[in-house]
Structure 1
Amino acid sequence: MEKDSSPGSDSPTRIEHVTAMEKGNASTFVAPTRSEEAAVIRKLDRRNARLAGMVKDIDLSGNRYNLLGTVFYIFYICSQWLCMGWKQFSPHKWCAFCVLFWGFIATIQATAFNWGGLIACRGFLGIAEACFGPGVPLYLSYFYPRDKIGFRQGVFISGAAMANAYGGALAYGISQIRGSVAPWRILFIIEGAPTCLFAILVWFYLPDSIMEAPFLSAREKEIALHMTARNQRIDVDQQTGIRLKEMWEGIRDPKSWLPALMYFGVNVSYASLPLFVPTIISELGAFTTIQSQGLSAPPYILCFFTIITFCYLSDRLQMRGPFCALAATLGAIGFIINATCKGAGPRYFSIFLSVEIFASVALLLAWVANIHSTESRRAGAYTVLATVGQCGPLLGTNLFPISEKPYYRKGMWISAAFCLMVAVLSGVLSCWLIWENRKMDREGVPEVEEFEETSGGRAEDRNKKHRYVW
């Protein structure tokens, strides 16, 4: 599974740097200043976010429309292991393939003329989605130090919250198009065709690693490596694929499964909201259907800023669990208010709190990266996180049946319970990691390990323990 980079890919700077590190010649590297580190981080940041007419054109009677979503999630869940392609293959090639694959499948959905064709497209779209999205957090961990990864994961995830804010408006606008091509087909083309073109940019401009980033100078590469290697191991001496032993360690580590259970709880509570928030608002009895679509956007806009704020503070304070628990608690309060009130005002206000559960996702992505010290272990842990966590929508999307309207009490209480489960498990995992850190204190494990102690090529008998971010 491991692969060496081609001989021609090693620049003199890269060879000299790695050789010096392997010899333990620390004198060749001058420790960076805070301003130098900040400049490199800024440079990395700049470089690296029911369809109208379908039921009529394609027979989606009965539960066929719901089955489209179910088929998508079945293929999506079963394909989560493909996120390891970001580690096994060159990221720019893997990402370009994923983007092109997704764009192609999304586009050809517009050509579907029967139920069988559409269901096949949704299945392949689930596979394409699993190839890309779950692996992005792993890719980001190649470039950023542990104390700065949370904010970058937050920026990535916050795009989903903002998409929910404008997605409904976009779909509504497209549904008003009148012409020879059905609006739902136009929507698929608009989503898919530009994505295919974007794959070209990915192929040429996405760096595979710090040492392969052409926009960084030799000094900046050394600084980036120095920061990223603090208290975690990085594969810098060669481009390596998955290390099976380390991947398995990440999969079987109990500390990989607690975040996965939390992710499951988040998805149970959150997955139903984009589908049913407009319906819930319309059932308040005070707004028209069009107003309900518009009023569903502000809660997600607030969630966008919450994610950014929580992740920034989480990095600054080096705490994941407390912020994850806070977001989950806010979500639980929102669902409880909605379950116990009948007035339009309180119930609409509660939605602003309910959607805050989504902030836990970005924090969990950063937390998994902080728990596991090697790239292959993180690949295994992210596979567990995504596979278990993405089962949540299968339950969440069925919590608000039409028979429960207008208050959807059962769905609200179940969602609140899962939010509280996330908060409790956040506390459990934090206490566990604090206990592990104190145990390492007694064993004399260094609080900060620099590059020489964390190189991917270090001897197997060297110290492998690293402090946890709790």
Structure 2
Amino acid sequence: MKVPASVFETNCFRIPSFASPLHTNPTMGLFKKDTEGVDPQQPQTDIAHEKDLEKNFEDVQLEQRQASVDNGGSAPFIDPVIEKRVIRKLDWHLVPLLMALYLLAFLDRSNIGNAKIAGMKDALNLTDDRYSWLLTIFYISYILFQFQVLGWKRFPPHIWAAWAIFGWGVISSCQAVVTTWEGEMVLRFLLGVFEAAFGPGVPYLLSFFYLRHEVGFRSGIFLAAAPLATCFAGALAYGITSGKASIPNWKLLFLVEGLPTLAMVPIAYFFLPDSPQKAKFLTEDEKRVASARGVRQTGTTERVGRIKFKDVGLTFIDPKAICTALMYFSCNVSFSSLPVFLPTILEEMGFESITAQGLSAPPYFLSFLITIASAYIADKTQQRGLTIIILSIVGGVGYVMLATTTGTGPRYAGVFLAASGVFPCIANILPWVTNNQGNDDRRGAAFVLLNFIGQCGPLLGTRIYNDAPFYVKGQSICAAFMFFNGILALSLRTLLAYENRKLDRQYGTIEEQKNRIASTEGSKEAGIEANTGVENFGPMYRYVL
């Protein structure tokens, strides 16, 4: 998309001094494949893979060159003071709103665990098998409707979000009037449909507003709403169930936690921006900087609209996308089961129902803090894989303690470790997807694949806690999957490091390329400015480890 000339006339930007008409010559190229040292005996599969990479990079180079032409020959220099102001405003206006909405979404899906021990079990005649089906049916629809993630790109985000919020808010509140298990099954299925349109795609939406090294921490804050919601649910359930009301406590629980969601519909519609350029809280100068950030990020300012289904198909067979999807599956076995079974687990430890509701809150508050801290550290160090490995070990050890000990103290300590590993792992896996796909269509498709495979984990996780009082089988399975997640993270990190070394050999290191572009001769020969489209597949692109 052509960026208005006014973008480059404002005092927010300066065109680099080496820019010249020759700078946009599309017939010249600095980033030529280095054929020296190539092994003639290289396997054909590797050669074919490299050709695919070259084709992707060549396509992107053409797009970036055209963007460079449209932009007057070079990407703009962005005033760092104004850029910091833009980021700060996005952090204060966008992230808290999305976090609040996800908190409500997670609260509405997981409060059934608190409702069960607050009287719902007897009112609906729930056996263990029937309760497990109430959990499973949600994830069946949640999986089947994962294609809705691409709705964030196809439709204006404020309309898409408002529709999803309205849908799950109505369904969640209606659980207060259900009288049969069959009716609750229908409502849980519909709840999964509408929640699938929101939560899974929000990290993808954040990639429209933040640069690659910024999005992980913001995704972590957003996803930290999950343990915070569970913490809040336990404390709120304790307050509701400890009093006396004219309606059953479990019905009141659904109403108190469902109606606030409906109140958020107009807020999302009027205050959720479709793009940085349309954010009402930004000044005109700040919007110009936001536009320039988009050019620097992907070579264009237009992020919502047409979908390239060829890129979608390529993503579905990408080993990196498949690996993160398997990691998400592994974590979700535990992620889905812990909130809905923890009140029951604590009750089986010997605590009264009301006390069990309150004791479920502290582990999740610790998890909330670790989620934000780990996402921040991973962004700063750009070592997301190592972060996930460490968290997987912590979570696995927690589940081992739950599976092998019988004392109340050690088991409760195990809950803290399990929660501190599982939730932060999820918060780092999702931004790893956006970090390592080279355009918006592939990032969106990767989230579809991630959720389609990953959300099958709850189908297993919600069916393995059937051997009260210690639930050894369920805890052991969760422990195994957490350790398996660490192995997958190590394998993926090794693959990404190998891919980065290949790109360095093919195009030169990032530093070498910047040095060539900084020279007068190099800048003329390049036909592309170093800071344009650097987050899309191209010579300057490297995977985040």
Q: CA deviation at 1:258?
A: 0.4
Aligned to 2:265: 199
Structure 2 CA distance for partners of 1:318 and 1:28, relative to 1, 3 Å: closer
Alignment of 1:416-427 (within 5 A): 416-427=479-490
Regions of 4+ moved over 6 Å: 14-20
Aligned to 2:93: 47
- Aligned-partner SS, 1:147: coil
Aligned to 1:7: none
Q: CA deviation at 1:453?
A: 4.0
Alignment deviations for residues 365-391 of structure 1 (CA, whole Å, 9 cap, x no partner): 110000012111111000111111111
Q: 2:142 aligns with which of 66, 73, 76?
A: 76
Q: Does 1:242 align with 2:307?
A: yes
- Aligned-partner SS, 1:402: coil
Q: CA deviation at 1:63?
A: 3.1
Alignment of 1:31-430 (within 5 A): 31-33=78-80, 35-48=81-94, 49=99, 50=116, 52-60=118-126, 63-176=129-242, 178-227=244-293, 230=296, 232-233=297-298, 235-237=300-302, 239-285=304-350, 287-355=351-419, 356-403=421-468, 405-406=469-470, 408-430=471-493
Q: Distance in 1 between matches of 2:125 and 2:472?
A: 32
Q: Distance in 2 between matches of 1:171 and 1:127?
A: 25
Q: CA deviation at 1:204?
A: 1.4
Q: CA deviation at 1:114?
A: 3.4
Q: Is the 8 A contact 1:145 1:229 kept in 2?
A: no
How many residue pairs get aligned? The number is: 453
- Output the amino acid matched with 2:506: E
Structure 2 CA distance for partners of 1:56 and 1:330, relative to 1, 3 Å: closer
Aligned to 1:466: 541
Q: Is the 8 A contact 2:298 2:532 kept in 1?
A: no
Q: CA deviation at 1:334?
A: 1.5
Q: Is the 8 A contact 2:132 2:463 kept in 1?
A: no
- Aligned-partner SS, 1:52: helix
Q: Which moved more, 1:292-301 or 1:123-132?
A: 292-301
Q: Is the 8 A contact 1:24 1:452 kept in 2?
A: no
- Aligned-partner SS, 2:480: helix
Q: Which moved more, 1:77-86 or 1:319-328?
A: 77-86
Q: Distance in 1 between matches of 2:218 and 2:75?
A: 31
Q: Is the 8 A contact 1:328 1:420 kept in 2?
A: yes
Q: Is the 8 A contact 1:251 1:384 kept in 2?
A: yes
Q: Is the 8 A contact 2:228 2:364 kept in 1?
A: yes
Structure 2 CA distance for partners of 1:380 and 1:425, relative to 1, 3 Å: same
Q: Is the 8 A contact 1:250 1:379 kept in 2?
A: no
Q: CA deviation at 1:26?
A: 4.7
Q: Distance in 2 between matches of 1:24 and 1:397?
A: 53
Structure 2 CA distance for partners of 1:115 and 1:399, relative to 1, 3 Å: closer
Q: Distance in 2 between matches of 1:348 and 1:370?
A: 36
Q: CA deviation at 1:62?
A: 6.6
- Aligned-partner SS, 2:277: coil
Aligned to 2:524: none
Aligned to 1:433: 496
Q: CA deviation at 1:309?
A: 0.8
Q: Distance in 1 between matches of 2:455 and 2:490?
A: 22
Q: CA deviation at 1:297?
A: 1.8
- Aligned-partner SS, 2:192: helix
Q: CA deviation at 1:282?
A: 4.0
Aligned to 1:30: 77
Q: Distance in 1 between matches of 2:182 and 2:4?
A: 51
Structure 2 CA distance for partners of 1:178 and 1:425, relative to 1, 3 Å: same
Q: TM-score, normalised by structure 2?
A: 0.76
Q: Which moved more, 1:263-272 or 1:59-68?
A: 59-68
Aligned to 1:459: none
Q: Distance in 1 between matches of 2:386 and 2:179?
A: 50
Structure 2 CA distance for partners of 1:91 and 1:451, relative to 1, 3 Å: farther
- Output the amino acid matched with 1:416: A
Q: Is the 8 A contact 2:389 2:486 kept in 1?
A: yes
Q: Is the 8 A contact 2:241 2:354 kept in 1?
A: no
Q: Distance in 2 between matches of 1:47 and 1:378?
A: 24
Q: Distance in 2 between matches of 1:385 and 1:372?
A: 12
Q: Distance in 1 between matches of 2:509 and 2:188?
A: 50
RMSD, aligned α-carbons: 3.0
Q: CA deviation at 1:267?
A: 1.1
Q: CA deviation at 1:111?
A: 3.2
Q: Distance in 2 between matches of 1:12 and 1:189?
A: 53
Structure 2 CA distance for partners of 1:133 and 1:452, relative to 1, 3 Å: same
- Output the amino acid matched with 1:47: H
- Output the amino acid matched with 2:384: R
Q: TM-score, normalised by structure 1?
A: 0.87
Q: CA deviation at 1:429?
A: 0.6
Q: Is the 8 A contact 1:103 1:191 kept in 2?
A: no
Aligned to 2:54: none
Structure 2 CA distance for partners of 1:299 and 1:159, relative to 1, 3 Å: same
Structure 2 CA distance for partners of 1:414 and 1:455, relative to 1, 3 Å: closer
Q: Is the 8 A contact 1:14 1:211 kept in 2?
A: no
- Aligned-partner SS, 1:71: helix
